[in-house]
RNA sequence: GUGGUUGUAGCUCAGUUGGUUAGAGCACCGGUUUGUGGUACCGGGGGUCGGGGGUUCAAGUCCCCUCAAUCACCCCA
């Protein structure tokens, strides 16, 4: 039994892990609801073509795909977006816009597992479709921030860096980079922080081969552009280029909205963020942990052409994803995970089998009333039972011994402050409800 | 996919230059004679030392392969 282990890159969730998982999902779900997003879900297993058709064959290497018993080529979903596009596409005509949708689901990719990078992971996805203006991007960035703030994280713990692929396009066009080479150059930009100057120059040379651009010169101006951290600096550069100046109007709208929503402190301009994915078409952003680890917590952006490419309607769209693994790691290191307590409200101590029948009747009534109740299945002695109540994390112990049953009462004992009081069994449900709400003082003499 | 490190009970680890039935602490279960708990004492279950092969009279200890975890690179929907 023990030699059949779980598959590499898959996690088992013991109750304490699952409790943490639920906490993450709850915070995310609450934040999304406050923004008017509605939850959706799609099949975990999809036809392989859904992911290969529009995304390129290279992706197949990382797909968790196989042939099912009916000879169909299928794949576990590596992301939600293709399914989202299909579902929205099927009903888009009749749906009120904008569409605010979120999902929390398990995704899969067949890769060599590493820390923070597994074959199965859960991800929050929030998407806003049908609105092309920057107000939608601002809404998503605000939601992204709230999904982190909801855990008790502060502006000091993370930062959402905002960038803009469209601005990059206009900038590179003004630098005379041929249109078909721009994506390649952005690939170099993506590595700006991680690679050595020599490697960057080599990469730039490779991208610009066959063009008239000077790799070294372009690399220098790209670096300078990527170093911009404020709207003012951008405006200075944009004065020379009408297309860029026009784009800055969008930037102002974005930053204004974010400011009015109260999230200025959470965001910063950082043009080194371009996101690896080629499908992003406008603003892009990534949330990072502030500090040495600098874990990436979330990422997203605008993808106005993707839904149509995936076979859906021509809908502007933007969205972001947030994974459970890094967020959990971060909360753990910041000590922000709530202490695990899944114990029952009441542990009923049945002393002697004579009391059992009466106790079970009350237990059933308490459970019908909505309380979480456990009790000893086997007869046990007092010290043992109260120890059990303590061990499983019960809030209160209820004593059902021969004495109590004879008198028609039960003894309530707080496991935390060790006070106790008796209540009549006829009054048990309202009395215990009061105890849970106000503590022992509700029944103490 | 490439390279490095690690792998002994649920957890944290000991296991001497290879040598008798593999240990400790914590946790778990039971008990310390009859209804008041985080302490103490006693007892118990649980490991084919990640798996396989090899060297040897003898391997947890040496060699090879493999699996897994982890780190770096690659990649990242």
C1' of B49 to CA of A2 (Å): 15
pLDDT of residue A285: 94
SS3 label, residue A431: helix
Structure tokens at A301: 């952006």
pLDDT at A441 over 50: yes
Tally of CB atoms within 10 A around A171:
26
The bases of strand B with some atom under 7 A from any protein CB are 1-2, 28-31, 34-38, 48, 50-51, 67-77
C1' of B10 to CA of A107 (Å): 29
pLDDT of residue A96: 93
C1' of B71 to CA of A394 (Å): 42
C1' of B3 to CA of A379 (Å): 60
Nucleotide nearest to A349 (CA to C1'): B35
Structure tokens at A415: 């496991």
Q: Could you give the CA distance from residue A362 to residue A368 in angstroms, rounded to a whole number?
A: 10
CA distances from A309 to A84, A305, A360, A411 (A): 12, 6, 62, 68
Q: Could you give the CA distance from residue A303 to residue A282 in angstroms, rounded to a whole number?
A: 7
C1' of B6 to CA of A342 (Å): 35
pLDDT of residue A276: 67
pLDDT at A2 over 50: no
- How confident is the model over A176-205, as a mean pLDDT? 85
Cis peptide before A98 (omega within 30 of 0): yes
DSSP codes joined into one string, A211-242? SS--HHHHHHHHHHHHT--SHHHHHHHHTT-H
pLDDT at A23 over 50: yes
Per-residue pLDDT of A224-272, as tens digits, reads 999 999 999 999 999 989 999 999 999 999 999 999 999 999 999 999 8
Tally of CB atoms within 10 A around A406:
10
SS3 label, residue A174: helix
pLDDT of residue A169: 92
Strand partners, A126: A102, A320
Per-residue pLDDT of A399-434, as tens digits, reads 999 889 999 999 999 998 889 999 999 999 999 999
C1' of B62 to CA of A2 (Å): 28
DSSP codes joined into one string, A373-386? EEE-SS---HHHHH
pLDDT tier at A28, thresholds 50, 70, 90:
very high
pLDDT at A52 over 90: no
Nucleotide nearest to A389 (CA to C1'): B37
pLDDT of residue A1: 34
Stretch among A7-21, A44-58, A238-252, A373-387 having the lowest mean pLDDT? A44-58
Query: What contacts A300, CB < 8 A, 6 or more positions away?
Result: A126, A140, A144, A284, A285, A286, A318, A319, A320, A321
The model carries a pTM of 0.91
Query: What contacts A305, CB < 8 A, 6 or more positions away?
Result: A279, A281
- How confident is the model over A152-160, as a mean pLDDT? 93
Nucleotide nearest to A355 (CA to C1'): B35
The per-residue pLDDT of chain A, averaged, comes to 90
Q: Could you give the CA distance from residue A66 to residue A50 in angstroms, rounded to a whole number?
A: 14
Stretch among A197-201, A318-322, A376-380, A418-422 having the lowest mean pLDDT? A197-201
Nucleotide nearest to A115 (CA to C1'): B70
Per-residue pLDDT of A82-121, as tens digits, reads 999 999 989 998 999 999 999 999 999 998 888 878 999 9
């Amino acid at each position: 039994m023990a030699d059949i282990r779980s598959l590499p890159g898959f996690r088992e969730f013991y109750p304490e892990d699952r409790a943490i998982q639920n906490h993450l999902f709850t915070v995310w779900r609450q934040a999304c609801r406050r923004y008017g997003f509605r939850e959706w879900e799609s099949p975990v297993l999809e036809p392989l073509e859904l992911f290969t058709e529009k995304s390129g064959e290279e992706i197949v290497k990382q797909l968790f795909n196989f042939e099912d018993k009916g000879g169909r080529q299928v794949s576990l979903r590596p992301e939600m977006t293709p399914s989202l596009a299909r579902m929205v596409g099927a009903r888009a005509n009749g749906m009120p816009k904008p569409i605010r949708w979120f999902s929390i689901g398990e995704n899969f990719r067949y890769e060599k597992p590493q820390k923070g990078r597994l074959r199965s992971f859960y991800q929050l996805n929030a998407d806003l479709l049908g609105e092309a203006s920057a107000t939608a991007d601002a809404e998503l960035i605000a939601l992204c921030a709230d999904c982190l703030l909801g855990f008790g994280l502060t502006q000091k713990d993370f930062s959402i860096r905002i960038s803009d692929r469209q601005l990059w396009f206009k900038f590179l066009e003004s630098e005379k980079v041929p249109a078909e080479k721009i994506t390649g150059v952005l690939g170099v930009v993506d590595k700006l922080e991680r690679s050595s100057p020599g490697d960057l120059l080599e990469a730039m040379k490779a991208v610009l081969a066959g063009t008239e651009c000077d790799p070294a010169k372009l690399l220098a101006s790209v670096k300078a552009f990527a170093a911009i951290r404020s709207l003012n600096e951008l405006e200075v550069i944009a004065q020379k280029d009408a297309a860029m100046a026009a784009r800055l109007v969008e930037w102002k709208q974005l930053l204004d909205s974010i400011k009015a929503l109260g999230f200025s402190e959470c965001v910063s301009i950082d043009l080194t963020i371009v996101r690896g994915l080629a499908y992003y078409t406008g603003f892009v952003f990534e949330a990072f942990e502030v500090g040495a680890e600098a874990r990436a917590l979330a990422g997203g952006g605008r993808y106005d052409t993707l839904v149509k490419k995936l076979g859906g309607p021509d809908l502007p769209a933007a969205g972001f994803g947030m994974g459970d693994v890094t967020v959990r790691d971060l909360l753990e290191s910041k000590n922000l995970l709530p202490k695990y307590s899944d114990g029952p409200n009441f542990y009923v101590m049945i002393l002697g089998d004579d009391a059992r029948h009466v106790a079970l009747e009350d237990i059933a009534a308490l459970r019908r009333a909505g309380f979480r109740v456990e009790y000893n299945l086997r007869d046990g002695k007092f010290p043992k039972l109260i120890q059990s109540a303590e061990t499983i994390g019960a809030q209160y112990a209820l004593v059902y011994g021969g004495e109590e049953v004879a008198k028609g009462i039960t003894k309530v004992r707080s496991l935390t402050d060790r006070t106790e009081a008796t209540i009549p069994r006829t009054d048990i449900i309202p009395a215990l409800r009061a105890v849970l709400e106000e503590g022992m003082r509700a029944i103490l003499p």
